[in-house]
């Protein structure tokens, strides 16, 4: 498939919006199917391994690895392994949390990730947040407290696992940003799934509970399809439009999670969960807005500096 060239930051092609909405619908299928399987008694370790193994096969086929294997070359294999471990941690902790928590609850906590990433980007990437974004981070944490409500008998092991999943995914994203300049897109999407697939193989020595019928086997095989195709659509969307332009659309996953939770598990989030989710989403959207404003400001400052230099050198003005 030919991927269109990335457009200007201000342009948001409808096809890019459709792709990112479709990707998060697939991720909703992934979480819903995982919850369905673990409630049916399938081992979370086997669910996680199958999700990654099928993902690897899909990536190798879609990207036609046999034609240009150089595209999958790893510049820093230890970093890929660490990044894969973070993704595995996020996946397995989320799957186990889904045993006792609603889909909407785990997703609400997961949406605090952008704020945690912003906080960790300072010490880990040298990208320090200003006071406005720190306020948004604190607001997001307030949203998490509203959902978990520690001290009032609501906070449980499931919430702790969901928080661990969110933190592990945040470290996975930071590793992705750190490695993005030196690694190919193909290597990033392959090794993120290949490393957990290989590292989980010793788990098969344990007495794992496997699917008991054809329907469950079909669902577990579809996990890799949902994850692999979802990530592939995400890559295409972000090559067609900027991250800022597409930032609000991942929150559409909350709608799907509430709908699937009601349709499949007869569960609806309580009012506190919805309030907490709204607070977290508001904080996340403000961080996106603030980062966009900073980029616009930096671009304007660069244009002004270029104009001033052109005047001093008596050069014709040009846009930057």
Binned at pLDDT 50, 70 and 90, residue 117 comes out as: confident
SS3 category, 128: coil
Mean pLDDT confidence for 252-265: 88
Burial class (CB in 10 A: 0-12, 13-18, 19+), 204: exposed
Tell me which of 2 and 119 has the higher pLDDT.
119
Q: Does residue 5 sit within a domain?
A: no
d(CA 283, CA 274): 14
Binned at pLDDT 50, 70 and 90, residue 96 comes out as: very high
Q: Is the pLDDT of residue 239 over 70?
A: yes
pLDDT of residue 38: 92
- Let me know the angle formed at the C-alpha of 140 by 138 and 144, rounded to the nearest 5 degrees: 110
Q: Does residue 6 sit within a domain?
A: no
Q: Is 184 left (phi over 0), alpha (psi -120 to 50) or beta?
A: beta
pLDDT of residue 258: 87
Of 32-36, 136-140, 149-153, the one with minimum mean pLDDT is: 149-153
Binned at pLDDT 50, 70 and 90, residue 43 comes out as: very high
Q: Does residue 306 sit within a domain?
A: yes
Mean pLDDT confidence for 65-70: 80
SS3 category, 73: coil
Average pLDDT over the chain, rounded to whole? 79
| Residue 213 structural domain | 14-312
% of the chain with per-residue pLDDT over 70:
80
Mean pLDDT confidence for 129-156: 70
pLDDT of residue 302: 52
Tell me which of 215 and 316 has the higher pLDDT.
215
d(CA 196, CA 62): 20
Q: Is the pLDDT of residue 108 over 50?
A: yes
Q: Does residue 3 sit within a domain?
A: no
d(CA 176, CA 188): 8
Q: What is the pLDDT of residues 170-203, one digit of tens each?
A: 898 888 878 877 888 788 888 989 999 998 888 8
Task: Look at the pTM and tell me if it is higher than 0.85.
Answer: no
Q: Does residue 72 sit within a domain?
A: yes
Q: Does residue 4 sit within a domain?
A: no
Of 104-113, 123-132, 248-257, the one with minimum mean pLDDT is: 123-132
pLDDT of residue 144: 76
pLDDT of residue 309: 41
Backbone phi, psi, residue 187, to 5°: -70, -35
Give the count of beta carbons closer than 10 Å to the beta carbon of residue 229: 18
**Sign of the dihedral defined by the CA atoms of residues 157, 160, 162, 164, in that order:** negative
Tell me which of 45 and 212 has the higher pLDDT.
45
SS3 category, 303: helix
The number of distinct structural domains making up the chain is 1
- Let me know the angle formed at the C-alpha of 106 by 100 and 107, rounded to the nearest 5 degrees: 150
Q: Is the pLDDT of residue 32 over 80?
A: yes
Mean pLDDT confidence for 216-226: 91
Q: Is the pLDDT of residue 5 over 60?
A: no
Assess contact for 112 and 140: CB atoms under 8 A. Answer: yes
Q: Does residue 220 sit within a domain?
A: yes
Q: Is 66 left (phi over 0), alpha (psi -120 to 50) or beta?
A: alpha
Assess contact for 249 and 112: CB atoms under 8 A. Answer: no
């Amino acid at each position: 498939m030919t991927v269109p060239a990335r457009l200007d930051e201000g342009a948001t092609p409808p096809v890019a919006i459709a792709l990112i909405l479709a990707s998060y619908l697939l991720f909703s299928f992934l979480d819903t199917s995982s919850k369905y399987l673990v409630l049916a008694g399938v081992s979370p370790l086997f669910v996680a391994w199958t999700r990654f193994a099928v993902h690897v096969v899909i990536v190798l086929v879609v990207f036609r690895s046999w034609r240009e294997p150089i595209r999958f070359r790893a510049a820093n294999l230890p970093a890929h392994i660490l990044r894969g471990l973070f993704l595995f941690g996020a996946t397995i902790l989320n799957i186990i949390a889904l045993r006792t928590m609603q889909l909407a609850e785990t997703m609400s906590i997961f949406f605090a990730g952008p704020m945690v990433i912003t906080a960790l980007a300072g010490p880990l990437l040298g990208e320090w947040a200003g006071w406005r974004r720190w306020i948004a981070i604190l607001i997001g944490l307030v949203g998490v407290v509203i959902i978990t409500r520690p001290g009032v008998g609501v906070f449980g092991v499931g919430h702790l696992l969901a928080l661990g999943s969110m933190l592990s995914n945040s470290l996975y994203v930071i590793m992705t940003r750190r490695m993005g300049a030196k690694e190919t897109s193909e290597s990033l999407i392959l090794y993120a799934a290949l490393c957990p697939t290989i590292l989980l193989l010793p788990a098969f020595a344990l007495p794992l509970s496997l699917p008991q019928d054809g329907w469950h086997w079909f669902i577990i095989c579809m996990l890799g399809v949902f994850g692999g195709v979802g990530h592939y659509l995400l890559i295409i969307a972000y090559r067609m439009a900027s991250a800022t332009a597409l930032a609000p659309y991942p929150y559409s996953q909350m709608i799907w999670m509430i709908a699937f939770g009601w349709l499949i598990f007869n569960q609806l989030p309580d009012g506190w969960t919805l309030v907490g989710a709204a607070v977290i989403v508001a904080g996340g959207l403000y961080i996106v807005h603030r980062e966009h404003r900073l980029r616009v400001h930096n671009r304007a400052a660069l244009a002004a500096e270029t104009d001033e230099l052109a005047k001093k050198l008596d050069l014709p003005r040009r846009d930057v």
